[in-house]
Structure 1
Amino acid sequence: MILPTTVVGSFPAVKGRGLSAVLDPYRHAVRFAVSEQIRAGIDIISDGQVREGMIQTFTGKLPGIRDDSVISSVQAAAKGITVADTRYALTQAEKVKGILTGPSSIAHALRIQTPAYRNREELVIDIAHALAAEAQALAREGACIIQIDEPILSTGVADIATGAEAIGIIAEKVDLPVCLHVCGPLEEIIDHLLRLPVAILDIEAATQPENLEIFTDKELKGKMVGCGCVASSDHEVEPVDQIRQRIERCIDIFSHDNILIDPDCGLRMHTPEGAFAKLSRMCEAAQVVRGEYR
């Protein structure tokens, strides 16, 4: 399929009621997020990332971390952190991506309160090894892509060389396409990103159209690009024609057979109706453009 549609990850958390909600407050939210992605027409769905925040989902399960503090050497979780939700998604859809919050983004959200780490860079590497085990578990479960979310890389706060090493640690442990999602402007780090051992770079292009321009004289080195064609930061639901124009601009830069179509970022902060409408219109626009290549 050309121009496959996907999501960056999160969907609004719609919790259920009754006994099942007492046993698992997010059970209904996962099922709702999965069903809404499928109803919208998404080709490669996620589990919805509805549990807690993108940092807390992992820090709450990794030994060595308590609340927002690192208290000892970080180790892999005893069992899969996101595996159960991904397993459910795979009962509903053929193609599901597994999603990890990146080691650098997690490490920079924590306070180091142990002599086990001399600096934050050492922490990033240990978190990468812990997340590599999660990536392997997701791959065994049947995920078709492992996505690593590293929003911090474009801010200049995190050491890019350490971040790259950490991404490589995860990527080498799975025999699947690895996607790196990075938010924000990429001009300062694009050369670093293109050297990473990932199959897909996922970028913001709806609200950061300048990200497209920096690729005009760059060699992708075999990578595909996930093009954000719907604004996640804006609650307005864009017209299909506007999304179509964004997709066509991405095609002008990367070619129709080298891109995936998705929102700029997650949609957790939207209403369920708004998130569905954005995904549905994105899929409709992608279908219109696909028709031009048949």
Structure 2
Amino acid sequence: MNLIPGAPLLPTTVVGSYPVVQGGGLSSLVNPLRSAMKRAVEDQISAGIDIISDGQVRGDMVGAFTSRLPGIRGQEVVGKVLPASAPITAADVRYARRRTPLVKGIVTGPTTLAHALHLATPLYRNREELVPDLASALALEARALQEEGIAVLQIDEPILSTGMGDLEVAKKAIAIIAGQVSVPVCLHVCGDLGAVVDDLLSYPVQILDFEFSRNPGNMEIISGKDLGGRMIGFGCVDSASPEVEPADVILSRIRGGVELFGPEQMLVDPDCGLRMHSRDTAYAKLSHMAEAAKTARKECQG
């Protein structure tokens, strides 16, 4: 299975965010976060990550998108939600693509966005009515990212494991976005999968990204399930803890994943984003993960 051309066996990747390290100088006055984006890209490459992101340094996962969508003011939906007037993340992805061929484009999912907003207009009676319009707006962003040459599109829907979102509405929304691209689509969902795994396995995506470090019980939950040819993003680094796990600890987790899924079916990544850590901690976590994956790759290739 090689859904991502150019990627090695057991490719390493990230869920997305990286600590914001701002620079100085005149350029920072014009584009204050460009240096942070560049640092995030360079750190990922230096750490040995195969499929990087742009670092998602320009805001939290909600505000980075909702602040650019007509119909949303702050955290309130005040009118019909429409697509942004220009791509939101394409410029940063373009820079990352100039530095390395394998880049993951990332959008925050429409159900997660909808539940982070307050409805202040009668145009939407509930969040389920809002989700399709958010999906349509994000679909244009996804298309723009594909035009920049991304290798994978990731849709972040952490809320889906909480029971707060309507899973059928979310599925249709994911289909709206996925229908706009031909690259593999990855769905990232945090937390315990027990109540949602069967629903998620019916979603129109090629990669399912889950956390197995902080939630090792997900291994048992997904064991024996028919993945339908999908790959698994195997979260093997605890992104919530400031502790930097040794490479041999991460390697042990990867070996468990290989035993369950097979190496051809896995991507190796942290449980979630690393934005809340220091740069040193985030870099060390990624470096140790890349070292562990390299060892596991050698073992699998004999």
Work out whether the TM-score is over 0.5. yes
Match of 2:250 in 1: 243
SS in 2 for 1:225: strand
Q: Deviation per CA, 1:137-185: give whole Å up to 9, x if none.
A: 0001101111000010001111111111111110111111000000000
AA aligned to 1:79 is A
Corresponding position: 1:282 with 2:281 = no
SS in 2 for 1:165: helix
Match of 1:293 in 2: 300
Query: TM-score, length-normalised on structure 1?
Result: 0.99
Report the CA distance between 1:24 and its aligned residue: 1.1
Match of 1:12 in 2: 19
AA aligned to 1:252 is E
Distance 2:240 2:124 in 1: 36
Distance 1:259 1:136 in 2: 25
Runs of 4 or more, structure 1, over 2 Å off, are none
AA aligned to 1:154 is S
SS in 2 for 1:257: helix
Report 1:208-287 matches (<5 A). Answer: 208-287=215-294
Corresponding position: 1:61 with 2:82 = no
Which of 133, 137, 142 in structure 2 is aligned with 1:130?
Answer: 137
Distance 1:172 1:238 in 2: 38
Report 1:1-294 matches (<5 A). Answer: 1-294=8-301
AA aligned to 2:83 is A
Structure 2: which 5+ runs fail to align? 1-7
| Number of residue pairs aligned between Structure 1 and Structure 2 | 294
SS in 1 for 2:264: coil
AA aligned to 2:250 is I
Distance 2:134 2:96 in 1: 26
Distance 2:51 2:43 in 1: 13
Q: Deviation per CA, 1:88-114: give whole Å up to 9, x if none.
A: 000101100100000011011111111
Report the CA distance between 1:19 and its aligned residue: 1.3
Distance 1:119 1:290 in 2: 47
Instruction: Tell me, yes or no, if the aligned pair for 1:6 and 1:45 is still in contact at 8 Å.
Output: yes
Q: Deviation per CA, 1:212-266: give whole Å up to 9, x if none.
A: 1112121001100000010000111101110000000011111111000000000
SS in 1 for 2:23: coil
Report the CA distance between 1:129 and its aligned residue: 0.5
Instruction: Tell me, yes or no, if the aligned pair for 1:215 and 1:253 is still in contact at 8 Å.
Output: no
Distance 2:245 2:216 in 1: 15
Structure 1: which 5+ runs fail to align? none
Distance 1:15 1:66 in 2: 26
Report the CA distance between 1:293 and its aligned residue: 2.1
Distance 2:221 2:262 in 1: 15
AA aligned to 1:268 is R
Match of 2:3 in 1: none
Distance 1:61 1:124 in 2: 16
AA aligned to 1:72 is G
Distance 2:59 2:104 in 1: 19
Query: TM-score, length-normalised on structure 2?
Result: 0.96
AA aligned to 1:158 is G
AA aligned to 2:254 is I
Report the CA distance between 1:25 and its aligned residue: 1.2
AA aligned to 1:51 is R
Q: Deviation per CA, 1:248-287: give whole Å up to 9, x if none.
A: 0011111111000000000001110110000000000000
AA aligned to 1:248 is R
AA aligned to 1:73 is K
